[in-house]
């Protein structure tokens, strides 16, 4: 450590410099990282979109990364159950804006409560469940072709978890009206339940907007189960299994590189057999014990002949 890196070398350091230094030493917020990635993907989607006339554009990313109705039947496309959550509608920036605003507002507190990596696992797992729920909705509605995009399912899970952890927190609804977090959560759940039910009364074979409600409900249901069942998604940490495999391989290598182990085991067996002969006589030996003595005697003769 250098002289000026020590505490006594920073006597004239300003409070702002100390704040910046402490912030640089803190782990990066997973919430902020997710917001940045999602916004970056949206901008890439905007600038690479294909113009189809009359000022309309079509996403080039959606065919590959949106979650389609047929994704359920195509295992080689199951990455879409996660990738769809980073795509948003190109028609209006409010889709990505509202989702990322909700993630930014509620995600940081939830992440602080459960830890950054568990927060990431919860966010992605709720996104995965939302994608499956969206596909099943299209099948149930008989929609010929449908696609799910947006992080709303995962953000719904984060919002509900915030209300579970901090039910008495005050939220400024529309930046004006103070409302308790649990009230917003109850209203959110009820509105999505009624929205999903209204979908059933819509015309068959058409997407009437109910898909978004079922995606939200998937995230809500997972968040409630996660909280009240005290779940933990640490089992999804693949590094834990990689380390376990590595330790197993290392133990196996140690066994393979110990050629004298077999000889030592045989010497122990021979000592035990000789003690048995001394106590009970040679007639008490089993056939396997006799073969062990013969094999050991033959190895000893060969060793003397080589010398």
| Distance from C-alpha of 74 to C-alpha of 102, rounded to nearest angstrom | 32
The three-state (H, E, C) secondary structure of 161-229, written as one string: HHHHHCCCCEEEECCCEEEEHHHHHHHHHHHHHHHHHHHHCCCCCCCCCHHHHHHHHHHHHHHHHHHHC
| Distance from C-alpha of 218 to C-alpha of 78, rounded to nearest angstrom | 18
Look at residue 4 and tell me whether its pLDDT is greater than 50.
Answer: no
Q: How many CB atoms lie within 10 A of CB 157?
A: 29
Residue of higher predicted confidence among 174 and 259: 174
Choice among 95-99, 218-222, 255-259, 280-284 with the minimum mean pLDDT: 255-259
Residue that has been written with the tokens 């003690």 in this structure: 275
Q: Which pLDDT does position 288 carry in this prediction?
A: 81
Q: How many CB atoms lie within 10 A of CB 149?
A: 27
Look at residue 196 and tell me whether its pLDDT is greater than 90.
Answer: no
Q: Which pLDDT does position 212 carry in this prediction?
A: 84
DSSP helix/strand/coil, 51: strand
Q: Which pLDDT does position 82 carry in this prediction?
A: 96
Q: Once rounded to an integer, what is the mean pLDDT over residues 152-169?
A: 96
Q: Which pLDDT does position 255 carry in this prediction?
A: 52
Residue of higher predicted confidence among 143 and 121: 121
| H helix count then E strand count, the chain | 12, 6
Q: Specify burial of residue 262 (Cβ count, 10 A radius: 0-12, 13-18, 19+).
A: exposed
**pLDDT tens profile 83-109:** 999 999 988 889 999 999 999 999 999
Query: Which CATH superfamily groups domain 28-230?
Result: Rhomboid-like (1.20.1540.10)
Look at residue 270 and tell me whether its pLDDT is greater than 50.
Answer: yes
What is the band of 5 on the pLDDT scale with cuts at 50, 70, 90?
very low
Tell me the average pLDDT of the chain.
82
Residue of higher predicted confidence among 13 and 105: 105
Residue 284 is encoded by which pair of tokens? 């008490």
């Amino acid at each position: 450590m250098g002289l000026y890196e020590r505490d006594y070398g920073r006597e004239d350091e300003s409070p702002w410099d100390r704040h910046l230094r402490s912030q640089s030493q803190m782990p990066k917020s997973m919430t902020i990282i997710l917001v940045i990635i999602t916004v970056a993907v949206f901008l890439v989607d905007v600038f690479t979109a294909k113009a189809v006339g009359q000022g309309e554009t079509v996403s080039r990313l959606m065919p590959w990364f949106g979650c389609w109705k047929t994704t359920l039947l195509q295992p080689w496309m199951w990455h879409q159950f996660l990738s769809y959550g980073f795509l948003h509608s190109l028609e209006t920036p409010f889709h990505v804006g509202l989702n990322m605003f909700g993630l930014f507002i509620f995600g940081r507190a939830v992440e602080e409560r459960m830890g950054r990596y568990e927060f990431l696992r919860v966010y992605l797992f709720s996104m995965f469940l939302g994608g499956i729920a969206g596909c099943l909705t299209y099948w149930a509605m008989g929609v010929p072709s449908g696609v799910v995009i947006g992080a709303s399912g995962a953000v719904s899970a984060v919002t509900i978890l915030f209300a579970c952890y901090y039910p008495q927190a005050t939220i400024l609804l529309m930046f004006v009206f103070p409302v308790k977090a649990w009230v917003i959560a109850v209203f959110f759940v009820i509105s999505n339940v009624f929205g999903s039910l209204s979908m059933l009364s819509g015309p068959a074979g058409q997407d009437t907007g109910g898909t978004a409600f079922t995606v939200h409900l998937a995230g809500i249901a997972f968040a409630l189960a996660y909280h009240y069942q005290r779940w933990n998604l640490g089992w999804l940490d693949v590094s834990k299994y990689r380390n376990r495999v590595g330790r197993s391989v290392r133990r196996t290598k140690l066994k393979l590189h110990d050629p004298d182990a077999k000889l030592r085991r045989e010497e122990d067996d021979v000592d035990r057999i000789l003690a048995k002969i001394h106590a009970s006589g040679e007639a008490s030996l089993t056939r396997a014990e006799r073969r062990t003595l013969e094999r050991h005697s033959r190895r000893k003769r060969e060793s003397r002949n080589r010398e």
